[in-house]
Amino acid sequence: MNEKIIEKLQKLMAHEKSAREIGSAAEADAFAAKVSELLLEHKLSMSEVEIANVDQDDPIVDESFWPHEHGANFTLRHVSWQLHIAVHVSKLNFCEIMSHWRSNGISIVGRKQDVAVTKALLGWLIEKAMRESPRRDRRDWLAGYTRALINRCTEMLIARHAAEDAAEPNAVYALIRTDQLAIQEVIDKQAGPRTKLGANYAYINSSREAFDAGHSTGSNVSLSGDGLEAKPPKELTT
């Protein structure tokens, strides 16, 4: 990205964080949506030269992400709330994920810059959950938190797809479609010890109060990456 775009993104993220801190959720969501729009606009503004060189400058990569590096415990099984957040955050940033066999680790597949953004944001969201979820009724809190994030990511994806449909066809959209096929090819080659994850999430709650509390946090947490400044998470069991 060029310096002007990076500067704009930093300003929008700062505004989004400030609005979130003072409790102005609607204003914060507007700034977060603008961040997403600007990221898409950057892709749309790529020159023919940048598109031609994208495989060299920003190749498709397959990188591991480990929740235990962000406050969650390492386990020998999948952890549903972590995986479902990862699915939606990855799609929001033009990536896909694969779940690791017999662990809660995942691989994120996409353009190198997109994968870096996805890993930073996903780390922040997991740290946020591990730091703020209560010991009592924690499962229900995490279910509410996850549902809120899924809803928000879905809304942002719907808005982005509508913008894509309304725009004139160009080389960048062709690149995005080509990327999707290339990402799927990487996933297909890895099939065997790892499996692709579906995107549905369902959970029957025993504590509505905890679910609502988690949902409130998920509805207000930043989706623009300001979590790189997050405090160390509390040590809690998954």
Per-residue pLDDT of the chain (238 residues; tens, 9 = 90+): 455 655 666 676 677 677 767 777 677 767 666 766 666 666 655 555 555 565 677 788 999 999 999 999 989 888 999 999 999 999 988 899 888 878 889 999 998 888 888 888 888 899 889 999 999 999 999 999 999 999 988 888 888 777 767 766 655 566 666 777 778 777 777 654 444 444 433 344 457 788 888 888 888 887 765 544 444 444 444 4
Name which of 38, 40, 35, 41 is nearest 13 in CA terms: 35
Domain membership flag for residue 136: yes
Question: Total structural domains in the chain?
Answer: 1
Task: Find the domain containing 95 and state its range.
Answer: 59-229
Domain membership flag for residue 27: no
Tell me the Ramachandran region of residue 225: left when phi exceeds 0, alpha when psi lies from -120 to 50, beta otherwise.
left
Whole-angstrom distance, CA of residue 230 vs CA of residue 128: 8
Return the pLDDT at 13: 66
pTM: 0.66
List of residues 6+ apart from 37 with CB closer than 8 A: 160, 163
Domain membership flag for residue 30: no
Sign of CA dihedral 143, 149, 153, 158: positive
Residue with tokens 């990569």: 61
Whole-angstrom distance, CA of residue 123 vs CA of residue 230: 10
List of residues 6+ apart from 190 with CB closer than 8 A: 62, 98, 107
Domain membership flag for residue 114: yes
Domain membership flag for residue 238: no
